Amino acid sequence: MMNNKMERALPLQKKAIWKKLQNHKIRLEKTDIIDLFNKNPKRFDEFSIQQGEFLLDYSKNRIDKKAFDSLIELAESCHLPAWMDKMKAGHNINHTERRSVFHIALRAPADEVMETEGRNVIPEIHEELDKMETFVKQVHSGEWVGYTGKKIIKVINIGIGGSDLGPYLTTQSLRPYWIEDIELHFVSNLDGAQLALTLEGMDPETTLFIVASKSFATLETIYEASTAREWFLEKAEDNEHIKHHFVAISSNVEKATEFGIAPENIFRMWDWVGGRYSLWSSIGLSIALQIGMDNFRQILAGAHAMDKHFFEADFHHNIPVILAMLGVWYRNFFNYDTHAILPYDSLLHLLPSYLQQLDMESNGKQLKRNGATARYATGPIIWGETGSNGQHAFFQFLHQSETVVPVDFIASINTHYPLRDHQSLLFSNLIAQSEALMKGRNLDEVLENLSPDSPDYDHQQLIARYRTFPGNSPSNTLLIDKLTPYNFGSLLAMYEHKVFVQGVIWNINSFDQWGVELGKELASQLQRDLLHGEHMEDHDPSTTGLLKHYMKVSD
Ligand code: F6P
């Protein structure tokens, strides 16, 4: 008989609990979610959780109590508590980059002690926050002026991936908190069109550039920043003026200085902040400029509250753990490949893109921590769109295709923009979709509603099958009282921890991203070849053909 310790040391698919879950899946495969409700009138209470201003309803999932308990047992069997302790204790859990993963420290209060590499990092984090605060106040008050003495009114954040998506999503989501005399833009794409269009009509005298790059080595960011510098100097002429218009956020102070950023204009970040986990650091400078430092601190406080919940709540009542384990359930036992994020809140329109990076750059991997290939599925494809827009685009697929897609519906109950009955209509649509996905509609129900007196009766009978829905599609619904900076911080921290938990179950390192390297290396070689018209034949025939065509057609 195997004891607990031995069971825990086994590879994922060899664990008894894994086999137990496979049996639960077989048992539940033929069960409709609606029947689980019929059998258990308390199902909503048992499979929903309220935490702060969040209500998570996960009752519309293909689980029952036994399967759910087994999922939690799997989390324990995969040493989740120990991994959480390691994260909290600042251990190098990002082993391939020899770094700790300590974004949780960025949102901890000033009186906490959080150590990594033998150092309490909280004082330096708060020092940097204070530096941000001073800068933000100077810009807002007009104390910080451009080289001709004019107030800064436009800010352009140049960055990509985590140095763009987090701040971009945050400022879009918190539109009601904007400080209106600052106009903020984001430039991320290498495509010159984005920068050219952003600069159109801007005045170098009143524009501030934030060059946001942890490494200060990302091709897109550095190239765009140098184009921006050129544009600026065309009018300002003197390099001395750069210090009034360019600030940087980086852990690579040397490179930022080399670029020409004044040392006092460099906001620090640390190696232990992953790019996609960085909006809580000085990468959030654009956020603070747009919504004020107090609101930025509220975002941190909300994230910290979710951290506390994650580290302290037992797994049966732990929102990130529950979401993560349901994801594992569908990915590994039902073999569902994708997961949709459907915010019924247009302010959250960038959430699916943000979560694509967070989830897919973290868990889109097949090598386990020991370097061996995981012979099971890992992170799903994340996609989505706001409701109700999505209803008129891909919901057809969600309802009637053969492919099942688990979804997260997200809504804030109290809107910042009350307008007639828009909010209740929007909410009714969300609920209608989750209900329809679960219940579906069978042929009898369609036929029952046909009236033989209708002139169209024959045709309606003929097409009755097209109006059936298989149903039994799982969904989570997260309702937030209101989309405040605090709740927004909690929301993102919730997904961060979900992704971390899944990485632990799959035994992968969620915090590196080696998969982005090869393309970067090839691109820089190809760029040299294109510029010099060399080595065209050194590639595969397709690549050679494309390069030659580009050379032929480009002006
Ligand atoms: O896409 C790879 C990546 O390293 C992301 O993880 C990161 O968010 C992005 O590039 C930008 O990196 P940096 O902030 O160093 O410019």
pLDDT band at 127 (very low <50, low <70, confident <90, very high): very high
Q: What is the mean pLDDT of the chain?
A: 97
Pick the residue whose CA is nearest to atom 13 on ligand 1.
213
Cα(347)–Cα(178) distance, rounded to whole angstroms? Answer: 13
The answer to whether residue 361 is catalytic is yes
pLDDT band at 462 (very low <50, low <70, confident <90, very high): very high
Q: What is the DSSP string of 69-114?
A: HHHHHHHHHTTHHHHHHHHHTT---BGGGTB---HHHHTS-TT---
Instruction: Choose, from 53, 205, 224, 361, the residue flagged as catalytic.
Output: 361
> From the CB of 281, is ligand 1 less than 6 Å away?
no
The answer to whether residue 535 is catalytic is no
What number of other Cβ atoms are within 10 A of residue 440's Cβ?
19
E strand map for 35-101: 48-51, 54-57
Amino acid identity at 470? P
For residue 259, the surrounding DSSP H or E stretch is helix 253-259
What number of other Cβ atoms are within 10 A of residue 451's Cβ?
9
Cα(431)–Cα(413) distance, rounded to whole angstroms? Answer: 12
- Name residues whose C-beta falls within 8 Å of residue 496's C-beta, 6 or more positions apart in sequence: 103, 277, 320, 358
CA atoms 36, 42, 43, 44: torsion sign: positive
Cα(138)–Cα(246) distance, rounded to whole angstroms? Answer: 15
Are 404 and 471 within 8 A, CB to CB?
no
Establish how many alpha carbons lie within 13 A of residue 516's alpha carbon, considering only the half-sphere containing its beta carbon.
12
The pLDDT tens digits for 60-76 are 999 999 999 999 999 99
Query: What pLDDT shows up at residue 150?
Result: 98
Nearest to 42 by CA among 22, 64, 27: 64
pLDDT band at 10 (very low <50, low <70, confident <90, very high): confident
Query: What pLDDT shows up at residue 32?
Result: 97
Pick the residue whose CA is nearest to atom 16 on ligand 1.
213
Pick the residue whose CA is nearest to atom 2 on ligand 1.
516
Query: What pLDDT shows up at residue 395?
Result: 98
Instruction: Choose, from 520, 534, 548, 549, the residue flagged as catalytic.
Output: 520
Cα(111)–Cα(123) distance, rounded to whole angstroms? Answer: 9
Query: What pLDDT shows up at residue 1?
Result: 55
Peptide bond just before 454 cis, omega within 30 deg: no
The answer to whether residue 255 is catalytic is no
Q: Given a cut of 90, is residue 367 above it in pLDDT?
A: yes
Q: Given a cut of 60, is residue 512 above it in pLDDT?
A: yes
Using only the alpha carbons of the chain, give its radius of gyration. 26
Q: How far apart are the first and last CA of the chain?
A: 74
> From the CB of 298, is ligand 1 less than 6 Å away?
no
What number of other Cβ atoms are within 10 A of residue 223's Cβ?
14
> What are the tokens at 184?
């903020």
Tokens 């509250």 sit at which residue?
Answer: 305
The pLDDT tens digits for 235-266 are 999 999 999 999 999 999 999 999 999 999 99
> From the CB of 388, is ligand 1 less than 6 Å away?
no
> What are the tokens at 132?
């941000």
Establish how many alpha carbons lie within 13 A of residue 349's alpha carbon, considering only the half-sphere containing its beta carbon.
7
> From the CB of 162, is ligand 1 less than 6 Å away?
yes
Give helix 122-141 / helix 293-312 axis angle, nearest 10°.
Answer: 150
Query: What pLDDT shows up at residue 226?
Result: 98
> From the CB of 213, is ligand 1 less than 6 Å away?
yes
Query: What pLDDT shows up at residue 167?
Result: 98
> From the CB of 221, is ligand 1 less than 6 Å away?
yes
Establish how many alpha carbons lie within 13 A of residue 367's alpha carbon, considering only the half-sphere containing its beta carbon.
12
Query: What pLDDT shows up at residue 2?
Result: 66
3-state secondary structure 122-141: HHHHHHHHHHHHHHHHHHHH
- The pick from 165, 210, 218 for probing ligand 1's pocket by mutation, whose C-beta has the most ligand atoms within 8 angstroms, reads 218
> What single DSSP character describes residue 152?
P
Phi and psi for 246 in degrees, rounded to 5?
-125, 125
Out of 47-51, 79-83, 521-525, pick the least confident.
521-525
For residue 407, the surrounding DSSP H or E stretch is strand 407-414
Nearest to 78 by CA among 360, 332, 406, 319: 332
> What single DSSP character describes residue 380?
P
Nearest to 326 by CA among 40, 12, 58: 58
For residue 480, the surrounding DSSP H or E stretch is strand 475-482
